[in-house]
A and B are shown apart, each in its own frame.
Chain A
């Protein structure tokens, strides 16, 4: 297999006395859909927060490699916006949309780091700025079409249904042109039909060349989508492998303590 696009080694995160992440190693390759699962409080969200620069990890290495240019960058201590610029974007478990802005504007914010106009452009609206603005609107609209929200462009984000808000989070992250997309429980709160649609959406996004790392409790989604699965418990990685391997792994079954992994 080719060189990994994300290479995390020995990642450790301490909160005071609590070790939320304990020497976690993970790597993701181009074109993969990888799932990160584990019981509540295992440290999955913390792992995402360390990757995306919201927390600065206590120890360990995070390396991102751009699949096209091959450019490597060490993400430790980098600001979240810089990391997004490098090509890794995320969604949030507890939805963090811009509630009072329109659906379209939410996605347009995602284009911010791929556009340039500042004060001068804003005031004089020179041709370059107008072109850029038109592109922002067009691309955002296309992305909304992809996730099926193009009928609600002018709706305020807070008025969307829960499932639609989750899809809008994905759309917003996609707008930053990531090669690696991190999804934190994208199916949480969705009904079976919505989850089904989400599975198709994630497949579509993957087929368009984005690699995906997702956290999810919905085992049906995890098992049907993932190429590989990492399992965490108490901040440690306890297992990894294909869905079949993980499903029959005794350590995983024990971690879930009777939870129905086969569901």
Chain B
């Protein structure tokens, strides 16, 4: 069944891998005992492992090609059962209701510890949905998203420290400040495309972090700002566990609002323009779309959401320092969007829950978190480049009515 050529290739792949991993897998230097140990058996494992994996990948691709070749209609029937559920209101509404009920009952069913983790995961859902507008819908690869998150968090931290500003006032201010910074950055940067935009936004993210780290008079440097007030509820003092639940519900509320808003944006005139910009910028301009303005709106809207979550983050941890806003954070949020499915709301939610909850519950895995991220992303790019759940565009019905009336 398998041609010799393919076997040869897999053999080559395995030898190459054995060679590449030689320094870390085989040689072990103990600097204290001054012993070098050679773990040759590891090399054999790597070689066999990569050989088997490469064969498996090949089999998968051969199958996939055959399936694609055999009949198109068949794939149309089998593929999008997820999409069908998402499109049909009679499936979608009960499902959403069930999920929402579960979310509301969650703090009563599980411990405060679990609730806390869930709050964090949901914050990443919102961050993912925010970045999804920028990367998934408008196609602007932003690697410095965490900068806006930091702007939100520090807005609240500083305003609270200096002026005792309350959480509820800080929310809109933090969001708007982040959006404002987004516009400031966007103006010069958004004429760049693809890789160039990615590099510049990456640099910008680092600049913000470095400023926070080094401008001691402004941000108290690496030691950060502590004792930030938790969100108040009409001035009532809350116990620690009550405040955990309170923040949890707050974030659930924000998730619901975000889903609503992002969903509406996507199916609006603006959302269409974003999609079109991702497809072909020149055609877009020739069709009368103001490229700069449209991109800027996407960029600053994404930043606004990061700012909001930043404020909540500061309120939740009551402490911020620059270490929370490293590039890793941007990478995680981007992974959420890519893993979940660019442009797909449900996909991003699943992506966030997977990437944030999995390492929490599989403590053993958390050591290898970065490795797992890398592996997941590479595997996704190979096997499902469109993400867990690809985006479904809304369709229009004219046929049944035959007249020109729509929807």
Partner of A105, one of B272, B280, B286, B399: B272
| A133 within 8 A of partner (CB) | yes
- Across the interface, do A101 and B270 meet the contact criterion of CB distance under 8 Å? no
**Residues 117-151 of chain A: 1 if any B CB is under 8 Å from the residue's CB, otherwise 0?**
11101110100010011101110011001000011
Please report B residues at the A interface, Cβ cutoff 8 Å: 261, 264-265, 268-273, 275-276, 279-280, 282-291, 297, 301, 393, 395-396, 398-399, 404-407
- Across the interface, do B288 and A84 meet the contact criterion of CB distance under 8 Å? yes
Known: A102-B395, A122-B268. 20 other contacts (CB 8 A): A54-B285, A81-B290, A84-B285, A89-B288, A96-B283, A98-B283, A100-B279, A101-B275, A109-B272, A109-B284, A110-B287, A117-B269, A119-B270, A122-B265, A122-B269, A133-B268, A137-B406, A141-B406, A153-B396, A176-B288
- Across the interface, do B286 and A90 meet the contact criterion of CB distance under 8 Å? yes
- Across the interface, do A80 and B286 meet the contact criterion of CB distance under 8 Å? yes
CA distance A163 to B192 in the complex (A): 34
A92 to chain B, nearest CB (A): 7
B219 to chain A, nearest CB (A): 31
* B contact residues around A85 at 8 Å (CB): 288
- Across the interface, do A138 and B406 meet the contact criterion of CB distance under 8 Å? yes
| A52 within 8 A of partner (CB) | yes
CA distance A75 to B134 in the complex (A): 32
- Across the interface, do A109 and B276 meet the contact criterion of CB distance under 8 Å? yes
| A20 within 8 A of partner (CB) | no
B134 to chain A, nearest CB (A): 14
| A115 within 8 A of partner (CB) | yes
Q: How many A-B residue pairs have CB under 8 A?
A: 127
* B contact residues around A98 at 8 Å (CB): 275-276, 279-280, 283
- Across the interface, do B279 and A112 meet the contact criterion of CB distance under 8 Å? no
Nearest chain B residue, comparing its CB with the CB of A106? B276
* A contact residues around B270 at 8 Å (CB): 117-119, 122
- Across the interface, do A101 and B287 meet the contact criterion of CB distance under 8 Å? no
* B contact residues around A104 at 8 Å (CB): 396
- Across the interface, do B264 and A125 meet the contact criterion of CB distance under 8 Å? yes
Chain A: residues with Cβ within 8 Å of the partner, total of 52
- Across the interface, do B265 and A119 meet the contact criterion of CB distance under 8 Å? yes
CA distance A150 to B407 in the complex (A): 15
| A97 within 8 A of partner (CB) | yes
* B contact residues around A122 at 8 Å (CB): 264-265, 268-271
| A113 within 8 A of partner (CB) | yes
B386 to chain A, nearest CB (A): 11
A21 to chain B, nearest CB (A): 19
A-B contact pairs, 10 of them (CB 8 A): A79-B290, A81-B287, A92-B286, A98-B279, A98-B280, A108-B272, A112-B269, A134-B407, A137-B406, A176-B288
* A contact residues around B269 at 8 Å (CB): 112, 115, 117-118, 121-122, 132-133, 136
Nearest chain A residue, comparing its CB with the CB of B260? A123
- Across the interface, do B265 and A113 meet the contact criterion of CB distance under 8 Å? no
| A154 within 8 A of partner (CB) | yes
CA distance A93 to B141 in the complex (A): 29
Nearest chain B residue, comparing its CB with the CB of A80? B285
CA distance A53 to B279 in the complex (A): 20
- Across the interface, do A81 and B289 meet the contact criterion of CB distance under 8 Å? yes
* A contact residues around B297 at 8 Å (CB): 118-119
CA distance A258 to B383 in the complex (A): 54
CA distance A104 to B399 in the complex (A): 13
B230 to chain A, nearest CB (A): 29
* B contact residues around A52 at 8 Å (CB): 286
- Across the interface, do B265 and A84 meet the contact criterion of CB distance under 8 Å? no
| A99 within 8 A of partner (CB) | yes
- Across the interface, do B393 and A102 meet the contact criterion of CB distance under 8 Å? yes
* A contact residues around B406 at 8 Å (CB): 134, 137-138, 141
Interface centre among B283, B288, B290, B398 (most CB of A within 10 A): B288
* A contact residues around B271 at 8 Å (CB): 122
* B contact residues around A108 at 8 Å (CB): 272
Nearest chain A residue, comparing its CB with the CB of B271? A122
CA distance A165 to B359 in the complex (A): 48
* A contact residues around B283 at 8 Å (CB): 92, 96-98
CA distance A114 to B288 in the complex (A): 9
Closest 3 CB pairs of A and B: A113-B288, A122-B268, A84-B288
CA distance A99 to B279 in the complex (A): 7
A11 to chain B, nearest CB (A): 18
B358 to chain A, nearest CB (A): 31
Nearest chain A residue, comparing its CB with the CB of B292? A79
* B contact residues around A65 at 8 Å (CB): none
* B contact residues around A123 at 8 Å (CB): 261, 264-265
Nearest chain A residue, comparing its CB with the CB of B294? A112
* B contact residues around A175 at 8 Å (CB): 287
CA distance A118 to B289 in the complex (A): 13
CA distance A102 to B283 in the complex (A): 15
Instruction: Knowing A54-B286, A81-B291, say if A117 contacts B268 (CB, 8 Å).
Output: yes
Interface centre among B264, B269, B276 (most CB of A within 10 A): B269
A15 to chain B, nearest CB (A): 17
* B contact residues around A53 at 8 Å (CB): 285
* B contact residues around A132 at 8 Å (CB): 269
- Across the interface, do B264 and A101 meet the contact criterion of CB distance under 8 Å? no
* B contact residues around A210 at 8 Å (CB): none
Nearest chain B residue, comparing its CB with the CB of A158? B279
- Across the interface, do B284 and A101 meet the contact criterion of CB distance under 8 Å? no
- Across the interface, do B265 and A96 meet the contact criterion of CB distance under 8 Å? no
- Across the interface, do A113 and B287 meet the contact criterion of CB distance under 8 Å? yes
| A167 within 8 A of partner (CB) | no
